[in-house]
Structure 1
């Protein structure tokens, strides 16, 4: 038939071993053969195909698979795009988690800074409260001494 190709001759070299293994397992167990692999078309285009076939052992012991091969290149391309999107989404999620942790750390630092600032203001207020009477006393010690001297003179005198 014109236009038909044997896909066995188009198998991608990296996929041959996997195809062979899947075929041997299907032949040995007479279970359905379902496998995906790449082919290289005569125009050098790489395509993904999926085969699904049922093995049937003949009277002479040979096995014939009855099935089909479908081009799944579009599905594989969509899966790759989805996987890329999922990878990017995971990365963005990790970036957001890291940013959240950094913001939480900053928030804790701001709270600590506010506490230290409030404590500083409290200490400054207490110091003012102590310094005012001390300053008053220090400023009035000499006049108080003079008053006591004058009072002693009056009482002694």
Structure 2
């Protein structure tokens, strides 16, 4: 007789460090990584709790690379009323830009992250150590895969762009 195998335990999630992102094709669950980027995680949570991300577009989406949102103007030049954040670049030995990684967008200057972020469709080793990683998709990546793609090398999305319907910290969504 074969011995029964124990059931695999589901990983415990911390509701204070979990986001729910509601998209047109379903819910995306993002695990926040405060050990990698405490200031950026705090910024994402503050803006989420303000409702800042609700109904904002994915304005730049590049097939095989990433989907970028978090700009209420939809132009790629907007942000929140909060000051820009100093870089918390993640060394590649600690975390890499893989499929489902969430990073902060910025200009060419390193300390310009504000509210815009991106979710990776595929690995991008060229970003490792150059951008801040603040989270990773742990469920619902299929909804991210269905975000409307942009055009040309810049990936600017023609209107109407897909939008974040709502974004919530799991601790607040009970």
Q: If the length of structure 2 is used for normalisation, what is the TM-score?
A: 0.19
- Which structure carries more helix by proportion? 1
- Which structure carries more strand by proportion? 2
Between 1 and 2, higher relative CO (CA 8 Å, sep ≥ 6) is seen in 2
Q: If the length of structure 1 is used for normalisation, what is the TM-score?
A: 0.21
Structure with bigger gyration radius: 1
